[in-house]
Structures are given as structure tokens and as C-alpha cells.
């Protein structure tokens, strides 16, 4: 086990910090919000709960949920315009502080790129630093599936993204921060996993994270 002081040092000396988005950077689960908007909330949120607990393979759960929702391009655009995601308190300051220290910040999400890019723009994170799932639409705007080639479309995908980032940018130390099982699985190749319970506490993550926090203020304090 790495001591807490060593974990703090690792966090403060990281070249890159990768954040999960749903229930971490934002307060909501994007897919549940989309389901609510499209009128199929209950069935989908139960599937999300099982997927986040690691009980169902991620890609299978994503396929099932999207088949129920069938979101059109217009519905996705209206969701972002009418119900924009709410940033978790402290995240804007934390990202800004990391960027001031020349730390690269990435968003790695099993959610949808159209929503995640909207979040990234609020945090001054370039869209090139966003890894998320792409919804596909027919030319008339109807739902046509999702891009199954994206690494984030399956279990273990976040780890694949981090491995890619290490190979491409030669980062020595990458920290992964998130609330769910798919975030925890990304370490290794991430060097440290910080579990986040500020919006939802998942016991499995709380019990197994290298470091567990419920408020981004704790990490901000380390960067003073």
C-alpha cells in the first residue's frame, strides 16, 4: 500500500489528470438525464445502477439502454440547451489550478461526446482532450446506434485510453479520478486512482480506491 503522503506527492507531481464525467465532473448521469428527457427514465436508471456496480458488461448495458431510449439528434441538442449538466462544486477551480501548473487535463467518459464536449467547453478543456462515446444518427436525425469502435464503448476502455495517452505523450504519472467501477479498472495503467463520492457513493469504489474523497476542495488544498 502506498502511504497517504506518497499519494499526495504523486497527485501533486502528475503530468496528467483524467476525470470521469458523469457523477464526478457533473452531478448527473448523462444517460439517465437523456432517458428522463425521452420518457424512459425508470427502466434505464435500473440498468445504469447495475452497469455502474460492475454487474453487467459495459457495452451490453450501453446497447440495451440506448435501444430503449432511441434518442434523436434533436432530443440530444434540446437536452443540452434546456437541461444543461450541472458542474460539481469545486471542479472548475480544480481544473483551472491544474492547468495553471501545466498539468494536462482529460475527460474520459462512458457517456456521450456531444454532452461531454459541452462540459469540456465550460472548463476550458480542449475537445482533443475528450474521450467519450459517439452517438450515430441517420440523415433525418433519428438514432442509428453508437460508434462501437470507441475504446470507451466497452469495459476496460478507460484503461485503454490512459495507455494510449502514456504512449502518445510519454506521461510519467497519470492520475484517474472517478466514482465508478470502470474508473477504478483504469488503474493500472493509471498510476493512482482517486475515488470520488461527492455525488454518489459506490461502496466497492470507496473500499478499493487508493485515496477516497467526497469534495474536490481536498485536492485543491493539496495544490496550494
Catalytic residue among 15, 22, 42, 179: 22
For the question of residue 179 being annotated catalytic, the response is: no
Q: Name residues whose C-beta falls within 8 Å of residue 64's C-beta, 6 or more positions apart in sequence.
A: 47
Chain-centroid distance of CA 170 in Å reads 22
Phi, psi of 15 (to 5 degrees): -80, -30
Please confirm whether the linkage preceding 189 is cis (ω < 30° from 0).
yes
Catalytic residue among 20, 179, 191, 210: 20
Residue 190 gets which letter from DSSP?
Answer: S
First and final C-alpha spacing in the chain: 25
For the question of residue 20 being annotated catalytic, the response is: yes
Q: Which residues are catalytic?
A: 20, 22
Amino acid at each position: 500500500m502506498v502511504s497517504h503522503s506518497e499519494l499526495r506527492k504523486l497527485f501533486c507531481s502528475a503530468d496528467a489528470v483524467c476525470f470521469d464525467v458523469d457523477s464526478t465532473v457533473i452531478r448527473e448521469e448523462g444517460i439517465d438525464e437523456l432517458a428522463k428527457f425521452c420518457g424512459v427514465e425508470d427502466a434505464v436508471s435500473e440498468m445504469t445502477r447495475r452497469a455502474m456496480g460492475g454487474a453487467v458488461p459495459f457495452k451490453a448495458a450501453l446497447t440495451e439502454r440506448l435501444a430503449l431510449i432511441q434518442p434523436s439528434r434533436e432530443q440530444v441538442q434540446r437536452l443540452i440547451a434546456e437541461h444543461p449538466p450541472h458542474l460539481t462544486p469545486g471542479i472548475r477551480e480544480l481544473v483551472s489550478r491544474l492547468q495553471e501548473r501545466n498539468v494536462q487535463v482529460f475527460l474520459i467518459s462512458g457517456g456521450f461526446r456531444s454532452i461531454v464536449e459541452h462540459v469540456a467547453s465550460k472548463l476550458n478543456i480542449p475537445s482533443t482532450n475528450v474521450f467519450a462515446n459517439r452517438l450515430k444518427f441517420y440523415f433525418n436525425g433519428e438514432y442509428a446506434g453508437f460508434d462501437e469502435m470507441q475504446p470507451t464503448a466497452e469495459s476496460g476502455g478507460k484503461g485503454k485510453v490512459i495507455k494510449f495517452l502514456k504512449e502518445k505523450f510519454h506521461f510519467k504519472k497519470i492520475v484517474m479520478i472517478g466514482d465508478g467501477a470502470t474508473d477504478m479498472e483504469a488503474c493500472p495503467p493509471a498510476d493512482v486512482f482517486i475515488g470520488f463520492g461527492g455525488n454518489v457513493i459506490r461502496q466497492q469504489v470507496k473500499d478499493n480506491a487508493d485515496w477516497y474523497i467526497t469534495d474536490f476542495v481536498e485536492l485543491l488544498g493539496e495544490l496550494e
